[in-house]
Amino acid sequence: MRAIQLHSEVIVDALQLACRAPSLHNSQPWRWVTTDHTVQLFADPTRLVRSTDPTGRETLISCGAVLGHFRVARAAAGSATSVLRFPDPDDPLHLATVEFTPATVSDAHRSRADAILARRTDRLPLAAPPDPDRLADSLSQVGAAGTVCVDTIPDESRSSLAEASQLTEALRLYDSDYHSELSWWTADFVTSDGIPPSSLVSAPESDRVDVGRTFPVFSRPERRREIDDDQSTILVLSTVDDSRVNVLRCGEELSAILLNATIEGMSTCTLTHVTEIPAGRDIVASLIPGDGVPQVLIRVGVAPPLDAAPPPTPRRPIDQVVQTPRDGTC
């Protein structure tokens, strides 16, 4: 089937929806370029969080997530997508080329696109999800090319994971570059990126979550007091190696799991701090089967039914993210 010609307004709408994808510190390290029949995804080197992510690994995960979200958005608009990853060996920033063919839209496609807008990062303590033993299988994307494994941290290993989380924070205690960067991305002023105070937790709330990054804390009334301690299930996404294509695919799997959890009425919080330090990453690897390389963790649980959803985090204006032709077609 021939690739279809794209109209810029339609494609920009899908890209705007896709850019609701999560990213490290909400840095949104991606850039899109449209052509007559394709959409090109690039990493944006000006958006790198260099002290936290010196190798750019988490940038690739973030870009994989936005790629996954974009494919969902296009499916809901009537297009199947095919992806060529790293199409230009001379340009390491060129991550993917996406082509489109007409496809039938189902209710499931629309539900997944709706989940993009409903999804939030919830850093508060969560109640246990239903059937945690089957959670990894029920939320995983079928057909992740066999490159991404999803495992559950067993209950008996939770304390070891909490120790790994605390260890990564302790090893960074005197890392002034890391803390300056973290303060920048959580600054309390109106912006189009970063993590606003409304998305962070107070010190008492943080104390009830045993695995999480330590952010600057803000004083506020304590929320969700009915949950004494976090009861979420923690999933680990790992790959066979740290190759760029596998890390990108890990981000695509992250996108799928977050949206599937949202559809099922569950809340999520993506965690990467514990894989940023080799010592923490080694501990996580020891807690899952096989020889996979841990990339990202996800807390999955249930928020109290009467709780308001966390407010959405800001996003950059779409004209800063997308380069389109001026004639109305892409």
2-40 pLDDT, tens digit each: 555 566 788 999 999 999 999 999 999 999 999 988 999
Separation of alpha carbons 70 and 47, rounded Å: 19
> Which phi-psi region, left, alpha or beta, contains residue 174 (left: φ > 0; alpha: ψ -120 to 50)?
alpha
Query: Contact 104/78 with Cβ under 8 angstroms?
Result: yes
Statement: residue 194 has pLDDT above 50: yes
Separation of alpha carbons 137 and 151, rounded Å: 9
Residue 309 pLDDT: 87
Statement: residue 165 has pLDDT above 60: yes
Residue 219 pLDDT: 83
Residue 203 pLDDT: 94
> Could you count the other beta carbons within 10 Å of the beta carbon of residue 255?
27
Residue 94 pLDDT: 98
Which residue's entry shows tokens 């600057």? 216
At 36-70, the pLDDT tens digits run 889 999 999 999 999 999 999 999 999 999 999 99
Query: What are 103's two structure tokens?
Result: 């496809």
Residue 329 pLDDT: 46
Please state the rounded mean pLDDT for residues 255-266.
Answer: 97
Residue 42 pLDDT: 98
At 204-259, the pLDDT tens digits run 999 999 999 999 988 888 999 999 999 999 999 999 999 999 999 999 999 999 99
Per-residue CA distances from 96 to 4, 34, 66, 99, 324 (Å): 18, 12, 11, 10, 16
Please state the rounded mean pLDDT for residues 163-169.
Answer: 97
Residue 1 pLDDT: 45
At 95-147, the pLDDT tens digits run 999 999 999 999 999 999 999 999 999 999 999 999 999 999 999 875 555 78
Residue 7 pLDDT: 64
Range from 4-18, 176-190, 288-302 that averages highest in pLDDT: 288-302
Kindly report the CA angle at 202 between 201 and 206, in degrees rounded to 5? 70
**How far from chain centre, in Å, is Cα 147?**
17
Statement: residue 78 has pLDDT above 60: yes
pTM of the model: 0.95
First to last CA, the chain: 19
What domains sit in the chain, N to C, each tagged with a CATH number? 8-118+315-323 (3.40.109.10), 132-301 (3.40.109.10)
